[in-house]
Chain A
Amino acid sequence: MKPLTEGNPQTGLSNKKNRFWSRAFQQRYLYMMSLPFVIWIFIFSYVPVWGWLTAFQNYKPKNGIFDQKWVGLDNFIELFQDERFYIVLRNTLAMSTMGLIISFTIPVIFALLLNEMRGQFFKRSVQTISYLPHFVSWVVVAGLVTKMLSTDGGAVNQLLMYLNIIETPIQFMAKGEWFWGIVTLSDLWKEMGWNSIIFLAAMSGIDPELYEASTVDGAGRFRKMWHITLPGIRTTFMVLFILSIGHLVSIGFEKQFLLGNPLVSDYSEVLDLYALKYGIQLSRYSYGTAIGIFNSVVSILLVFIANGIYKRVTKESII
């Protein structure tokens, strides 16, 4: 059998269009194989988008989607006029940006250090231990964190008191301005090991000859890290980074929901929680959908902006 992708110079004579079709014909099996997946994506990711219509209606589940009252942009106007919306947007962006910065620096450093380790056994054990918390549910983690930071015999307060740093226990969970930090740090504790796995994998793919050559040139460990390892994982890093910028506004709400309490609600409420409370819980499906649309549009914009900047700087593009 002939290789499926081989071009045929004889048929590609006339114009571009002809060439495309003849090529498509040659690769027909490849097209056929990918077709089910294209259809799959179309059905599950694009067909539901017609539900966005509800954002422009006063949707009531009793009637069908075309049998609703159309309200134009009312839902969006209400959304942008609600001052609560700007508070939750601020919280969302603040926490996700902090999370983004932390989760792309510490795990890389951690991976770099692990990568330099000689003892395979020790390296593997550290790696396994460090990613175990990833599998712990947020419910449990939130319980641990509140217990640790409790004023009623919490470990952190007891340690600080023992070291004479503070006089009386601090109410960590009651201070709104500390909430972002607490969320970011507990996220770091939970996900550091897991996030470093992919960087470690990228590092193991770097050609060892590069290291050997630099040893010959007299480079030390830090030189090698700086000039070989880091540039070696740059593409992986950037792909992940740009993709997670796309998720900046949709960070979910489990952490904030579980760690938050009424006292810190001005700092803990995020966009998804807002959509749940003021959209779905009140049966205002249209309002919830409007928030969802806002979310998607901002996410797409962010990804393109990030990619654009990256393209400018490095002359490469990942999408």
Chain B
Amino acid sequence: MKRKMQITLSLMLALVFVFITACGNSNNDGSTNKGTTNEATNSANEGAAAEPITIRLASGDVNANWDDMQSEVGKVIQEKTGITMKQEFPVGGSDEEMFALMVASDEYPDLVMPKGSAGKLVDAGALIDLRPIIEEYGPNIKKVYGEYFNRLRWSEDDDAIYILPSSGVGHTYFESGGGFQLQHQVLEAAGYPEIKTVQDYEAAIKAYIEKNPKTADGQPTIGLSLNGGEWQILISVTNPAFYATGAPDDGEFYVNQDTYESIMHYQRPEEREYFRWLNHMNDIGLLDKESFVQKYDQYKAKVASGRVLGLIDQDWDYADAQNALKAAGNFKATYARFPVTLNDTFQDHSFQGTGYVGGNGLGITKDAQDPVRLIKFLDYLASDEGQVLVNWGIEGKHYNIVDGKRVIPAEVQAQKSNDNNTFKKTTGIDNYLLSARYGDGVKDPSGNYYTTIFPEQIQVAYSEEDKKTLAKYNVTTYRDLWPAADAFPERKYGAAWTLPFETGSQANVIFQKSQDIMKKRIPEAILAKPADFDKVYDAFLKDLDDAGVAKLNAEFTKMVKDRVELWSK
């Protein structure tokens, strides 16, 4: 009898557990906050502003060198603001998953840096409107964004500010990472000819490969390889079509600068000619046959072997492979970059100005205990004092002032260049770029740059081969080969790739379809026999029409016009 009791009791217990775990979560449903309810309670907390508090920040970008506020700069910030920040990063998944889960559970940390998921969070009512509290408590934030402050508004219908973009305001590009790349040894063998058009580029590769069909260790040389097997097809195949035909990168659209009429950029006749040139490169055997099949690691392995003479890519995409070449001492096989166009009537528009486009940044959630305190914290980081602190570090420790100029001592600079990871973690420099800030090339009232990147700094990073090549072309950086930013009028809409489609809208679906078609048809056209090129390309354009691209173009034109109107207010 006793045994029976025991069995019954333990079974009951097991059941109870099952029910508890099953029902535990149902309490949260339906009690969704509307997002702005916290504001009313804020003013009550003001008196306690100096109290040290701990806040949570969920960041979509993993920062392996995050110092947990234990670094030198971190401690100063803690002291000045009384805020201790705990950062959370995506674990084992993508940042999109992390924020999707947050939305699903309806629980948020105080601060978020949601990257591409900002729209999702706003749609879910998770972010609070920062405009009123910035107006009241954020003079420095407002000052940094300056004339671009109205570009922070969310949309035509919603003038709230949900995200403080953390990209630098007034940023000057001192270096160019894109264009067409050629190995230094190819340039040297050709006697450093002018590389302006695709014909120049082709001739240099052709001359070299005829003389050197194999590398020193007997592997065949490859003329030009494109990273077209994965998503980088956009970087390595379609974006260069913009640049080579005198248009700036506006995502997948070409925007007429006067009328703002937008079309998918492959629909332009000029770009058809660019792809025809790639088709020609394939025909004469200079294009790597595997360009559209290879995986990213295969591509990197090829580049790292030093036998790919030319690339059309961005430096961040081939940097790993180039670092391997440098580590092996094969500097002749590293790359120089040129603004190459289809013919000399075009100019590379890579650096056509956009004004401040904002982009990813930081938002305060509805679960934050004290938004005013957080804005004051961000305002401190945006102040002149704060910006110098997060970019340069502590005076006397990480930099000295010599004749009114900020100078980084040699041993600090050495650690920064050679062991950047440890440097970031111990000093905290570059770990706190959270708030509004100025970009490279902007000077503070003392006449010094806010950031530590300026022309002299870039040349330090060049290898001897780079310097040799640059000297032959009479420039000091690759950037100098490109037309200056003020050579073209500023785009009134910023950059069109920052325009988001409404999630799940019809335009969004058509866009996805157009991308699928493009990724299949453009490689097909490039790999076709030259006689069939037009046939394939016409079929490609017809597929786009059938997928409803006309509707998409009309929608996008409207979005661009709305943006122009919104920003010119």
Q: Which residues of A are interface residues toward B (Cβ below 8 A)?
A: 29, 32-33, 35-36, 39-40, 43, 58, 60-64, 84, 142-143, 146-147, 150-153, 171, 173-174, 261-263, 265-266, 277-278, 281-284, 287
B216 within 8 Å of A (CB atoms): no
B14 within 8 Å of A (CB atoms): yes
Closest Cβ–Cβ distance, residue B452 to chain A (whole Å): 38
A sample of 11 inter-chain contacts (CB < 8 A) reads A33-B11, A61-B120, A61-B123, A84-B516, A151-B290, A153-B219, A262-B292, A262-B519, A265-B519, A282-B509, A282-B512
Chain B residues near A35: list those with CB within 8 A: 11, 15
- Contact across chains for B22 and A36 when beta carbons are under 8 A apart: no
* Interface mask (B523-564 → A, CB under 8 Å = 1, otherwise 0): 110010000000000000000000000000000000000000
- Contact across chains for B123 and A171 when beta carbons are under 8 A apart: no
Taking A262-B519, A266-B520 as contacts, is the C-beta distance between A152 and B123 under 8 angstroms?
Answer: no
- Contact across chains for A284 and B504 when beta carbons are under 8 A apart: yes
Q: Which residue of B lies closest to A284 (CB)?
A: B504
Q: Which residue of A lies closest to B7 (CB)?
A: A29
Residue in contact with B293 in the complex, picked from A84, A261, A281, A284, CB distance below 8 Å = A261
Residue in contact with A152 in the complex, picked from B29, B120, B290, CB distance below 8 Å = B290
- Rounded to whole angstroms, the CA-CA distance of A43 and B288 in the bound complex is 54
- Rounded to whole angstroms, the CA-CA distance of A39 and B11 in the bound complex is 13
Closest Cβ–Cβ distance, residue A129 to chain B (whole Å): 27
- Contact across chains for A64 and B32 when beta carbons are under 8 A apart: yes
B233 within 8 Å of A (CB atoms): yes
- Rounded to whole angstroms, the CA-CA distance of A262 and B509 in the bound complex is 18
Chain A residues near B120: list those with CB within 8 A: 61, 283
Q: Which residue of B lies closest to A29 (CB)?
A: B7
* Interface mask (B166-207 → A, CB under 8 Å = 1, otherwise 0): 000000000000000000000000000000000000000000
- Contact across chains for B520 and A263 when beta carbons are under 8 A apart: yes
* Interface mask (B291-316 → A, CB under 8 Å = 1, otherwise 0): 01111011000100000000000000
Residue count of chain B within 8 Å CB distance of chain A:
43
Closest Cβ–Cβ distance, residue B428 to chain A (whole Å): 36
Closest Cβ–Cβ distance, residue A170 to chain B (whole Å): 11
Chain A residues near B123: list those with CB within 8 A: 60-62
- Rounded to whole angstroms, the CA-CA distance of A173 and B125 in the bound complex is 46
Residue in contact with A263 in the complex, picked from B29, B509, B523, CB distance below 8 Å = B523
Within 8 A of A (CB), among B1-54: 7-8, 11, 14-15, 18, 22, 29-30, 32
Closest Cβ–Cβ distance, residue B509 to chain A (whole Å): 6
- Rounded to whole angstroms, the CA-CA distance of A153 and B24 in the bound complex is 58
B124 within 8 Å of A (CB atoms): yes
- Contact across chains for B520 and A36 when beta carbons are under 8 A apart: no
- Contact across chains for A40 and B523 when beta carbons are under 8 A apart: no
B104 within 8 Å of A (CB atoms): yes
- Contact across chains for B30 and A61 when beta carbons are under 8 A apart: no
- Rounded to whole angstroms, the CA-CA distance of A140 and B51 in the bound complex is 53
Q: Which residue of A lies closest to B519 (CB)?
A: A262
- Contact across chains for A283 and B503 when beta carbons are under 8 A apart: yes
In order of increasing CB-CB distance, the 3 nearest A-B pairs are A262-B519, A283-B503, A284-B504
Within 8 A of A (CB), among B185-239: 219, 228-230, 233
Chain B residues near A278: list those with CB within 8 A: 509, 512
B330 within 8 Å of A (CB atoms): no
- Contact across chains for B512 and A171 when beta carbons are under 8 A apart: no
- Contact across chains for A36 and B15 when beta carbons are under 8 A apart: yes
Chain A residues near B302: list those with CB within 8 A: 152
- Contact across chains for A146 and B298 when beta carbons are under 8 A apart: yes
B103 within 8 Å of A (CB atoms): yes
- Contact across chains for A40 and B512 when beta carbons are under 8 A apart: no
B131 within 8 Å of A (CB atoms): no
- Rounded to whole angstroms, the CA-CA distance of A233 and B290 in the bound complex is 46
B142 within 8 Å of A (CB atoms): no
Chain B residues near A265: list those with CB within 8 A: 516, 519-520
Chain A residues near B298: list those with CB within 8 A: 146-147, 150
B289 within 8 Å of A (CB atoms): yes
- Rounded to whole angstroms, the CA-CA distance of A35 and B516 in the bound complex is 49
- Contact across chains for B289 and A262 when beta carbons are under 8 A apart: no
- Contact across chains for A39 and B229 when beta carbons are under 8 A apart: no
Chain A residues near B219: list those with CB within 8 A: 153
- Contact across chains for B504 and A282 when beta carbons are under 8 A apart: yes
- Contact across chains for B293 and A173 when beta carbons are under 8 A apart: yes
Chain B residues near A40: list those with CB within 8 A: 18
- Contact across chains for B32 and A262 when beta carbons are under 8 A apart: no
Chain B residues near A150: list those with CB within 8 A: 290, 294, 298
- Contact across chains for B229 and A262 when beta carbons are under 8 A apart: yes
- Contact across chains for A62 and B124 when beta carbons are under 8 A apart: yes
B513 within 8 Å of A (CB atoms): yes
- Contact across chains for A263 and B503 when beta carbons are under 8 A apart: no
- Rounded to whole angstroms, the CA-CA distance of A279 and B19 in the bound complex is 33
Chain A residues near B297: list those with CB within 8 A: 143
Taking A36-B18, A152-B302 as contacts, is the C-beta distance between A262 and B503 under 8 angstroms?
Answer: no
B422 within 8 Å of A (CB atoms): no
